[in-house]
Structure 1
Amino acid sequence: MADILCGEDPEPSERFPAGPLFVPVRPGPSGCVARIFRTPLGDRTAVGFTCESSLIATLGPEQAWIRLAEPALRALTEPLGIATVTVDPQFTARPASPASPASPARPARPARAARPTCPVRPVNTVVPAPAPRVG
């Protein structure tokens, strides 16, 4: 059997940083929080995209994002027990919705307001908690 040269190895043994990534985020109690996803086998993974158009094509134009280097994303998610970073995932499933054929048809829901965007803040900035909603 011929030895595989490093350039021919489909999965190199050394990990190389992917560079600055577009990381999907959601609003959290102290600002932005990186979204964590699941692999097809159910393991938790951090996700990053190499370009904004890939993120939009996969998660939609309403998805908020920040730029992070791949080592920074790993450092951010490692304390949560997440050791995997998936770069440029090709497939995402739609959110599960209950489908019961016996239930009567419901009236259409009004359109939701656009999601708030998460501004990028310096690491040492303290962000006050949002005021509770009344009503």
Structure 2
Amino acid sequence: MARVVWHVPVTTSGTGSTTALRLFRLRDGRRCAVGFSSPEALAALLGPGQAHTEIAEPALRDLTAPLGVDTLVLDPRLVAPPVGSPAVPPAPAPAAQLQHR
């Protein structure tokens, strides 16, 4: 059986000594981990500068389970909260006209 590798976004400390898995949120607010089937898919969504590591899906589950994260998303197309229509401010009331005497 071929080994399936996920390309998972990470963050690296300023000194480069620490690497941490990036977690995201689903639309309902729950945390999730995301992975991509290729580095190109990751760069297309998160940008070419996004650091990543390769990891197998079972290992990703093992890393996220202690954090209470039980949802993994492969090749997400959008990782963002739903976008609502912009609020339209009410029209200003007509200014009262002053009468000079």
1:60 aligns with 2:47: yes
CA apart distance, 1:70: 0.4
1:26 aligns with 2:21: no
Equivalent of residue 36 in structure 1, options 8, 18, 23: 23
Please, what TM-score do these two structures have when normalized by structure 1? 0.53
Q: Which structure 2 residues correspond to residues 1-135 of structure 1 after superposition, within 5 A?
A: 19-28=4-13, 31-93=18-80
Which fold has the larger relative contact order, with Cα–Cα distance below 8 Å and residues 6 or more apart in sequence?
A: 2
Partner of 1:92, secondary structure, is coil
Identity %: 45
What letter corresponds to residue 35 of structure 1 in structure 2? R
Runs of 5+ unmatched residues, structure 1:
1-17, 95-135
Runs of 5+ unmatched residues, structure 2:
82-101
What letter corresponds to residue 49 of structure 2 in structure 1? E
Please provide the CA RMSD for this pair. 2.0
Partner of 1:53, secondary structure, is helix
CA contact (8 A) 2:27 2:80 kept: no
Q: Please say which structure displays the higher CA radius of gyration.
A: 2
Per-residue displacement from partner, 1:24-71 (whole Å, max 9, x unpaired)?
000249511000000111110011000111100000011000000000
**Equivalents in 1 of 2:80, 2:47: separation in Å?**
12
Please state which structure has a larger fraction of its residues in strand.
Answer: 2
**Equivalents in 1 of 2:66, 2:52: separation in Å?**
21
Please, what TM-score do these two structures have when normalized by structure 2? 0.70
